[in-house]
Structure 1
């Protein structure tokens, strides 16, 4: 009450200030009122339009995202239809499916991997028509058991008709019974082979509704939007009606959608209409995928309800603004003429009055202010002492801001002088010293600290660079030191920087038991460009893989290095795989040497291309092992991650040595196991000929039987059998023909057909070539 009386008195004496605040209050209240009035008048149409525009954007984005997923699904299923393992399963009989366990397991693993990589797939399965079985992610089933127990569809699907139709198709929305739950899914199918009109198998995918729920989600929970996806026949693919169970006009909305969907001829449109006196907004977007329509229905009355709420809120805000303005004005007037209260409050913050008052002084405002000045001076002295202690940290921060281009140029150089960094010259250059590698960093507690290296480098800089260059250092981390050189342009006409770097190298080689690399950036004029030199130095360090460690790498050296492509053709990779699988160590090493000479001979290659080259060679080694149906522990005696190992090698020499070692181990394994492998392959070939000599036999079919590539089987066939493939097959058939000539009364034409020849004439020519006489003469003997 006392403060209020004082405020009234101040109002009479200094009414101009109070009037200004009253005018401000009136202005605030008037502005709020006018804005509220006009916003209420125009907000209804604007909000409806905003909701329509926003919802159309969501609808279009949902259509594009879902179309993209469906197209991606089609592409993925086409890739799976081309997979060798699934195509092999297509031609297996039921009995062969129990023998080819590895092919069946690979196919199941492929289905499981694809399902786990796609969050929207509820289930995926593969149907083989010939043997009438199904491969699912859980294993192999009879078709009737799978469709009645494992994946039971509630709808009436004619699977026999579906399996006889080719191409990628949608089978519609279905309910799948999974235990006690019914799960709605969209069913898609792809035929195998997908180019055949009469497929021999089918991949079926159950796509759950998560995709539609995610892409067509309502971002505003207070806004009611009914979403539908309708196919070309008017069937509902997806709807979110279940999200609004209490809404009373669902049937009315669905009738509006059905009636309106037949008139939707444009690619997209927004239509406002009234149904039984209730306003609705219908928006749709048509898709080229299966001719789907994406439809949204918004009850307009829910938007106008929000407008009425805005009106009520506006009135409340106006009332609150008036009350707050009155309260704020009161407190401003009450405290406007009390300047000493600020001083007393300051004393309360820094301590008691005794801490700023000298003994014996009078307790008045002036002595109080003098005491505060003395107190501030002492505090400032303490801050100066702390500043000196923290100067090294401030210097590091200063250099860090320079190399990252984060300084305020206006006062930056002045700030540097205050912390002991003078940069009087116009040219700036960055040098980065990288000490140690990953192995040495793991033993960092036994290493000499970077701080000790910095102190020695400062001494070397003082002795080598002279007065024409300023050099400052920063410890970036426990393996990296950064130095900034500030010089005149004429400094580079002498060998000062070269002498300095030579001395630094000599010191590091003498004091370190670990590798080091020094990257030198270009010199730039103006401090604003200093960060470019830091980028140059880091780029130079990247080339330690090419240039080797314990070196100084100038950015000028590597700027001209090619960033083209590696010279490693598919033909050379195929040749390398084939020779490695044959066990020929000398030829493998010659091929590797030719690859290294093509790419690394002149050392004119970027680090990225070095990585690409050795990753490609590592991939070749892994592919060789895979094609031999082996694992790394069989080759190396332990699990070996070739990619990880090649990345851990420092420098070209170590990478070349490791890749050579990998291929030597592969050829060594092949050599040691070659005899058993060849015997096993020949047994398989003989068994296949025994069972199929009357049919057409080619190198491709035999290669598939022995599970080898055609090129590799052609390469090793003569080594295995002692004959070329054609002679081997003909001799086998001629022996069978001899038996038939000796033991049966069949004529020559019948025998020719039984042993696999198209005509008696061609059979007689081959028989005479290998026996020396005709079949008729042989029978008479």
Structure 2
């Protein structure tokens, strides 16, 4: 390729570029053809049926959920005692309760697409509350005798769907939901009528007029929904292929079927949740007619792309390569590059690489000449590194005087400064800061600065022996430095100034002295200038507030936050009053106090991880603080959170004890949980949370478990029969008692009694 002319290379590249769309079109057309093959069509149709099924069942499930939420409300309690139409209308407040229920039925109807009507029938009442006719006597409304037949196939507490034809002639799918006594003490039935036409919309959501659908109730093999409304509620087995499909009993699939000379595709899918069968029917002759048109279009497009692409390739290659060929000719004529046997592109690559190498060498040379030799020497001086003759000469030139002082500038609240600035901004701030005071003070002092990391800048100052009190002379200059720092960083700086030295060998020690002086801002505060002393300091006294530690631990147990706060203030005052305490002593005091607190909480079996989960490493946070004021504020909040958590934990335990005591006493009663929560003084959701976290069981499970345990004792020690025992422990019917007994014990009550008495 390197020896092929550039124009030929471009032609080949462009031809490939044109050839790719051709391949894509060919693959696309092939995919389309495959998509219209019988197998692909069948699988695609089955997927479409499944999608329509999900859409339909999602809508039905939403109606069910909305109905259950409605049935679980307390709206029915206002009319449950009024069985007759006259009783209901005899008092305005009763009518108002009924109208509220009527409005909610209307909301239920409006909020769900395709719902024809909804009504509520109070058990043994002579009236109905309906969304379409309001509060109506039972004899003026359509017959509800079909409800009993629908509920005969009900299993559990959920409602049932019943396809039927209303007296108005409207075909509907009715959802019948008896009110559950676990959620309300009112007995009645809620009915929601969904139009069969809405199911038709869901089953043909894509608007495909080349297919037909049917929905079959597998329990009685009746048509629930069909395009031909005359077939609704008829026997589905009488339709072509459907009888064979019902006999197969397959849950899902597709099949091809010949009828009257037409090839048909049937796809079906069984709904386990509703025991329905969804079926779609397609005409294969219509679907396959699209294949030939796609193939013809593919051939025409492919030929056109190849012809146009070939012409464009030749023209573009010639046009694009012309400037490059002229450039190569000009470079060959003006340079001495001995490159032969290569095409134009490779020649340009070689020429540019050589130019880049020469540029890199030039940049390296410039960087070496621009290196700040002075800063490098100062770094070596501060670290105590060996300095060669050339650097010693430079050092003598920078610092010709006899005495040296090292100052360390440290940005206060450095972590906050880092949090609100980028690395590039911090680098610029340092450069501008150092330049601002070095240029200003160079006329008064011999001074050099280097960055020492973590928001610190080291200064080496040189002066002669005639200056008796260098610290007094530096006060004005250091104050100016602090002003510049505030302007550029937006933060104050603390400056530690070492004692003077005559030897450059002791400058590293003076650097350490200045760094130690910075730590004194813990007591003296931020924004200070702290000077070292020439004489050695006396041995420092080591203190620890043991009495305050004991009192704080005791106050945690009593939840006395105010006393803890006062004790922390006392510790701070003691530290501020001490003239000899060290920074390390202060950190030890607060670290020890934190450790003792955590140990005390663990001994009390209090979950410390829940308290400190979002606080990170507490010891690192304390070490990053500059002043005693910051430390005291942080610890006050720290102990406030602890006291708050301990108090909340104790409160939850007391509530749980009340709940368990109530349930143990009233387990055989018909408990209304919302009323129980109000009596205890907490919300219903909070009560459920406490019971589950404290016992590992839900409220229902706890009560049923308690009832079954009591029933086991009665079965063995009493002469009551099973039905009487069921009533005694709180079950209103023996079926529920048997079901829950088997759930928790694995056997029926009778079997349990027999095994215990005859085992």
Tell me the TM-score normalized by structure 1: 0.39
Q: Which structure has more RCO (C-alpha within 8 Å, separation ≥ 6)? A: 2
Tell me the TM-score normalized by structure 2: 0.40
The structure whose Rg is larger is 2
